[in-house]
Amino acid sequence: MPDQIEGSPGTSMHGVTGREPVLAFSVASPMVPTDTTAKFDLPVDSEHKAKVFKLFSLANPHMRTFHLSWLSFFTTFVSTFAAAPLVPIIRDNINLTKSDIGNAGVASVSGSIFSRLVMGAVCDMLGPRYGCAFLIMLSAPTVFCMALVEDASGYIAVRFMIGFSLATFVSCQYWMSTMFNGKIIGLVNGTAAGWGNMGGGATQLLMPVLFEIIKKAGATPFTAWRIAFFIPGWMNVIMGILVLTLGQDLPDGNLGALQKKGDVAKDKFSKVLWYAVTNYRTWIFVLLYGYSMGVELSIDNVIAEYFYDRFDLKLHLAGIVAATFGMANILARPFGGWTSDFMAKRFGMRGRLWNLWLLQTAGGIFCVCLGLVNSLPLAITFMILFSIGAQAACGATFGIIPFISRRSLGIISGMTGAGGNFGSGLTQLVFFANASFSTAKGLSYMGIMIICCTLPVSLVHFPQWGSMFFPASNDQVKGSEENYYVSEWTEEEKQKGMHQGSIKFAENSRSERGGRVASFPSPPNSTPNHV
């Protein structure tokens, strides 16, 4: 049944922005009826998904799931980037060269390209709770292994293995979509993603402080950093245990029910993949995300060492400065989603595209400046501006992705996420693993690359809404949202009624026309669903 295809966990991967087009802290009753028979702390819909997002509550199961979920993702970010602020010590202990350090950085983000793609299937099979717990508890040993590393190859191998745990992004988003109604899932997912990404910043603060404390307790530097890694390792274990004991897959707590739902007619994977891969916009966004999220991950790996070496900051001070980059995620990413929605109100999809281009290009410009300046206050300023640009661009990207395809939304989100990691690996390999130019030059070149790789967003054209430089098509048929979304289904599939969800989505997406919406007659009795 079409409703169940839409409602099934994992389809609503969309909107990892901060905001939804409708003010999305809660969904009012007439739009989505409340199930009054259910006894939950929060008002729920017919599937018992929460209609309200109460941030500071721990109500079981919805808000508790939210907190378990984003904390797990946060923990994996802490573990993956834990080595970065300690590199000045590690490089002396195990005799690393610049290429070793660069290669380790590449390795740390490469593993999750694959693990993120696999994680969706794992969540389908075992449920998001076990998916998450398996991943973080199996990667805890890899974090503990860091204490045993003695040479460059060991270091690179361990960082590669720890990097697999970044796939908790998928389990996090998946889990949110089982617990929260589609109308507010955008804000929920966006907040979870942004707060998880903050882990990359928190670790730059945490690890040097741990290192100093352990050194003060009497350990030599070359031993202290090894002991420091036990903390992220234990964070993994503790989060895993909390997820297992306190979490549940569905609002009703039933893993078996989830498996039953999975039996219901699901869309064919090969078809979904086909429509994702053959849509040129998918690839443009894979590239773009590689230069917003990708550069964010690269910076998480190099920035502490940069401030330590270039400006001669002490280790913990370099960590504090580096942390501000990652911590900006708490607001910057939702901000990007918000500006995307704001522009969409007036200018529709064209506004979203321009917004993305502006934010990402601004980030690139500030990155160029960051590499060029010689004074510490200026460097910090440009770094903060760069972080806001890049992270807001991440948020803005996912303000557009839900509209690329309705049928293949999950895969496109997954591919885009993988593109982020791929972009990170590539930039680290090209700009930061090379001894032939300094990190400062690497930053500036990366900034130029960001600016160049953001230009393709001008090629993204929606017949019904237009593109950056071209308006929407005037053709009555081609220029309609229905035509665009329903074209993903074959005639037979349409006869089976599989495309109903896409029609509903098309109706709801009319707001992407911007100011023109009022003039377009909306069909009667259209029940808005996921947006």
Give contact residues for other proteins (rule: CB under 8 A).
88, 91-93, 95, 97-99, 130, 133-134, 137-138, 140-141, 144-145, 147-148, 150, 220-223, 225-227, 230, 233-234, 236-237, 240-241, 244, 255-256, 309, 435, 438-439
Residue 361: CB minimum distance to other proteins, A: 30
Q: For other proteins, which is the closer residue by CB, 335 or 445?
A: 445
Residue 99: CB minimum distance to other proteins, A: 7
Q: For other proteins, which is the closer residue by CB, 155 or 398?
A: 155
Q: For other proteins, which is the closer residue by CB, 87 or 404?
A: 87
Residue 266: CB minimum distance to other proteins, A: 23
Element containing residue 83 per DSSP (H, E):
none
Burial pattern 114-144, b for ≥16 Cβ within 10 A else e, equals ebbbebbebbbebbbbbbbbbbbbebbebbb
Q: For other proteins, which is the closer residue by CB, 176 or 239?
A: 239
Residue 50: CB minimum distance to other proteins, A: 24
H-helix segments, 247-375: 255-263, 269-277, 280-290, 293-310, 315-327, 329-372
Nearest residue to 161 (alpha-carbon basis) of 200, 104, 119: 104
Question: What SS3 state is found at 50?
Answer: strand
Q: For other proteins, which is the closer residue by CB, 256 or 497?
A: 256
Per the DSSP assignment, residues forming a β-bridge with 26 are: 52
Q: Both tokens of residue 100?
A: 């070793």
Burial pattern 416-437, b for ≥16 Cβ within 10 A else e, equals bbbbbbbbbbbbbbebbbbeee
Q: For other proteins, which is the closer residue by CB, 145 or 209?
A: 145
Residue 162: CB minimum distance to other proteins, A: 13
Residue 120: CB minimum distance to other proteins, A: 20
Residue 86: CB minimum distance to other proteins, A: 12
Q: Is the peptide bond before 528 cis (omega within 30 degrees of 0)?
A: no
Q: For other proteins, which is the closer residue by CB, 195 or 308?
A: 308
Q: Both tokens of residue 282?
A: 């998918």
Report which residue type is found at 182.
G
C-alpha–C-alpha distance, residues 310 and 375, integer Å: 10
Residue 302: CB minimum distance to other proteins, A: 12
Question: What are the backbone angles phi and psi of residue 27, rounded to the nearest 5°?
Answer: -115, 125
C-alpha distances in Å from residue 511, one per residue of 161, 346, 506: 44, 10, 10
C-alpha–C-alpha distance, residues 69 and 91, integer Å: 34
Residue 134: CB minimum distance to other proteins, A: 7
Q: For other proteins, which is the closer residue by CB, 57 or 99?
A: 99
Q: Both tokens of residue 260?
A: 């039953």
Report which residue type is found at 173.
Q
Q: Both tokens of residue 374?
A: 């010689």
